[in-house]
Amino acid sequence: MYWRENIMSKTIIVTGGAGFIGSNFVFHMLNTYPDYRIVCLDCLTYAGNLSTLAPVMDNPNFRFVKEDITDRDAVYQLFEEEHPDIVVNFAAESHVDRSIEDPEVFLRTNILGTAVLMDACRKYGIERYHQVSTDEVYGDLPLDRPDLFFTEETPIHTSSPYSSSKASADLLVLAYHRTYGLPVTISRCSNNYGPYHFPEKLIPLMIANALNDKPLPVYGKGENVRDWLYVEDHCRAIDLIIHKGRVGEVYNVGGHNEMTNIDIVKIICKELGKPESLITYVADRKGHDMRYAIDPTKIHSELGWLPETKFADGIKKTIQWYLDNREWWETIISGEYQNYYAKMYGNRSEEKKAMKVFVTGVGGQLGYDVMNELHQRGIESIGSDVLPEVTSIDAPYYSLDITDGAVSAMLEKLKPDAVIHCAAWTAVDAAEDEDKQETVRKVNVEGTKNIAAECGALDIPMMYISTDYVFDGQGQTPWKPDCKEYAPLNVYGETKLAGELAVAELASRFFIVRIAWVFGLNGNNFIKTMLKVGKTHDTLTVVDDQIGTPTYTYDLARLLVDMIQTDKYGYYHATNEGGYISWYDFAREIFAQAAALGHEEYDAAHLTVKPVTTAEYGASKAARPFNSRLDRKRICEEGFQPLPVWKNALERYLQEVLAERKG
């Protein structure tokens, strides 16, 4: 029997409960306290996986709510409904590498989100607010001083935007305690490992890669030391703190299991029977801390907690769990985990009213994926294109020319709940030909005007897919969604801008979503071109002074379908995450991944890729932007899930494309 036998029923809100530690905590609490009501609040960002919670979704004492902790109205509404006794805040952007790429998202979630939660606690009353923090707020310790450990008195000394955001949140929590008397506690833990760990992190990444005989990337020399804590031990510690811990106190939770990264990777290789030759050393990340080590004396002396799991035992249990649950992490790697919420809730009348969506351009890359995504979610969809027929979609289809009046009659007849307008002339160089410009303008301008005018007349929300080409493509600053400094460089950009202006003027409710560097299965694109020419050439030249980020239509389609079911109208920029790159960088990664998938014709021994400037490459018919950097922050600000990292998207795409070619 656990330490509390006859405990009164309580309601606990667990934020970030679809993540790694949060989900394990949900399981622990429901198993330990059968009378407790556990409410999981999670906005399901990249590391939030609702399928993790599948074992408890039917538990009558469990409720899942998809909302962002920064959404004050949503949080207050939840407190009105549930009147929680305890709040445990796991919700956080937590991947250090991502914080270096895009710090602002981390500041918003980790600091502002914490403030919103505490304000709700103040407004509605609370027995305990608990903040789950990290040992990274202390900075690092030298490798040559194994006698030194972090204690609760160790000064805060952060090294990354992530740890700085967590430290800021900690200080804010303590300030709310002192200023407002809010009953708070904080725990700072060492590195966790165990079941349901997101495959982007060290241990699950190494397991997944090793099982697939892929390279095992290790930062630097792998000498960084971490204190590893089995996640179940961590959950026990938080349980004790929220019930018995002293208000206003910080508790360090450590495993006394220090290991170097390289030793962990070697252990995983040994356990799985894989050669250490899979290990590859990569450039160290910026500001990488050398050693973390926690002294858990305080929580042991006050609450009687000690870690029960030795690393040698815990790592074996963890590896076995990943062997037994391959579907869970393979689904994440494929990106399919992001559809689980739609599968669980998409057709529930109490969550969303049934929709009918009209999609144009379904014969193209994006329209094809949008239709498939709508179908997968059980949303009624109707497709259109100028093609006589499109057999690749499982939905009603109309051959339709959007440049004449037929589109107005079609929308009046169908009366859809929303329109996603993907149809466009997208051949950028061909658009410069004088004999084609009239057609380009008819499709991109007049066709869009026809749809926008009818959507405005019928008050139908309209989504228009646009491009970074509406800007002049100069400088290095990412273009913000609400930027109005339009200066298109070519006919394609001019006509897409005219389409934007028409939508903004004529549609009563609209989304304008700008994208860049698009690739999808249903059509031609840069990747397919590279794979084709890479087979017939031993040397390629690719420009390295045009900078942007790729966009996988499969991932984009999921975001668009999420958006169209809301009223969060306005301008958005959407590409895959992972930083800004050149076309040269993109090409190199295409060939490297293709080679890793067994296509030796693309490896460095057979194919050389050389960088050149745009001027050296030679001018194309249409002027190309040097700056295709798009600021994507509004996606997260509005509570939508950002697109996965582009390297991951590329890997999934290549697996599909190369399998098709082999078949």
Mind telling me the catalytic residues? 135-136, 162
Name the β-bridge partners of 19: none
Six-digit token string for 561: 């379908």
61 closest CA partner among 24, 9, 17: 9
Q: Find the helix or strand (DSSP H, E) in which 191 lies.
A: strand 191-193
CA distance 497 to 469: 8
Q: Determine contact, residues 91/45, Cβ cutoff 8 Å.
A: no
Q: Where are the alpha helices (DSSP H) in 514-645?
A: 526-536, 553-564, 583-596, 614-617, 633-637
Q: What residues contact 288, with CB distance under 8 A and at least 6 apart? A: 159, 219, 220, 224
Exposed / middle / buried, residue 95 (Cβ in 10 Å: 0-12, 13-18, 19+): middle
Exposed / middle / buried, residue 545 (Cβ in 10 Å: 0-12, 13-18, 19+): middle
Q: Determine contact, residues 441/449, Cβ cutoff 8 Å.
A: no
CA distance 248 to 655: 52
Exposed / middle / buried, residue 391 (Cβ in 10 Å: 0-12, 13-18, 19+): exposed
Q: What residues contact 200, with CB distance under 8 A and at least 6 apart? A: 47, 95
Q: What residues contact 72, with CB distance under 8 A and at least 6 apart? A: 116, 119, 120
Q: Determine contact, residues 612/544, Cβ cutoff 8 Å.
A: yes
CA distance 94 to 48: 11
Six-digit token string for 495: 């006509």
Cα of 218 vs its chain's centroid, Å: 23
Q: Where are the strands (E) in 402-461, listed by range?
A: 418-421
Q: Find the helix or strand (DSSP H, E) in which 261 lies.
A: helix 261-272
Q: Determine contact, residues 192/253, Cβ cutoff 8 Å.
A: no
DSSP string, 551-568: EEHHHHHHHHHHHHTS--
| Core vs surface per residue 553-570: b (16+ CB within 10 A) or e | bbbbbbbbbbbbbeeebe
DSSP string, 11-78: EEEEETTTSHHHHHHHHHHHHH-TT-EEEEEE---TT--GGGGGGGTT-TTEEEEE--TT-HHHHHHH
Q: Determine contact, residues 572/635, Cβ cutoff 8 Å.
A: yes
SS3 481: coil
| Helices 72-82 + 113-124 axis angle, to 10 | 40
Q: Determine contact, residues 370/557, Cβ cutoff 8 Å.
A: yes
Sign of the dihedral defined by the CA atoms of residues 86, 91, 96, 100, in that order? negative
Q: What residues contact 313, with CB distance under 8 A and at least 6 apart? A: none
